């Protein structure tokens, strides 16, 4: 199976043996294992995208992998294909392993991390749902989405997404003029290649950006 990752829509689910089944919208399935072979064509573009949008998640997945493998980690890391496969399996299981029949990756490239059924979450030091890790960006589940926005843009984007305030009201809460706020809004839309507040909500709603 040749993967056109640019336009792929799929859902991942954790298998009993710890591998991952990826089901594409067209009905095709792809198994990803940590052997450096099975599903490796999927692993490469997957990690490329996830590193770009969820770097803290990948960092945490690597640290979790280190804890899981112990002394074997250094040897696994020397084999690029095997290491990347291990990393992808950890990432997929932690952030996308729940079979809920909702796309984990849309054809637009938009990802939807989810609450997986991880039995070790309560004790995991990379638990992004734990209050003890509030604000910590190196978390494996409930990862932060790196928007690439400035602090000012991020503040305004958050209000556009999570409130019903008008642009004028948002400007007042941010202590800037309405004209300046409108300009920042346009910069945000341009950054994501969209044209409206509703499209921004669709892009970032339910994503952890703070």
- At 12-28, the pLDDT tens digits run 999 999 999 999 998 89
Res 103 pLDDT > 80: yes
Q: Mean per-residue pLDDT for 166-195?
A: 96
Instruction: Tell me the two tokens of residue 113.
Output: 């991390």
pLDDT at 2: 67
Res 59 pLDDT > 80: yes
Q: How confident is the model at residue 143 (pLDDT cuts 50, 70, 90)?
A: very high
Query: What percentage of the chain carries pLDDT values higher than 90?
Result: 83
Which domains occur in the chain, in start order? Answer: 5-133 (no CATH), 151-204 (1.10.10.10)
pLDDT at 135: 86
Q: How many CB atoms lie within 10 A of CB 48?
A: 10
């Amino acid at each position: 199976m040749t993967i056109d990752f640019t336009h792929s829509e799929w859902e991942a689910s954790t298998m009993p043996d710890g591998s991952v089944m990826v089901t594409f919208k067209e009905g095709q399935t792809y198994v990803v294992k940590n052997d450096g072979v099975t599903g490796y064509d999927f692993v490469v573009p997957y990690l490329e995208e996830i590193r770009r949008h969820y770097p803290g998640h990948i960092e945490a997945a690597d640290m979790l992998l280190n804890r899981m493998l112990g002394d074997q980690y250094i040897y696994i890391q020397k084999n690029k294909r095997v290491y990347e496969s291990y990393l992808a399996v950890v990432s997929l299981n932690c952030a996308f392993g729940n079979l809920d029949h909702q796309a984990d990756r849309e054809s637009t490239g938009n990802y939807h991390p989810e609450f997986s059924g991880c039995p070790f979450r309560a004790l995991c030091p990379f638990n992004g749902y734990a209050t003890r890790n509030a604000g910590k960006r190196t978390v494996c589940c409930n990862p932060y989405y790196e928007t690439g926005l400035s602090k000012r843009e991020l503040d305004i984007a958050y209000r556009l997404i999570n409130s019903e305030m008008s642009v004028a009201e948002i400007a007042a809460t941010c202590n800037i003029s309405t004209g300046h706020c409108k300009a920042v809004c346009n910069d945000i839309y341009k950054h994501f290649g969209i044209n409206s507040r509703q499209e921004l909500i669709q892009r970032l709603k339910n994503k952890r950006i703070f």
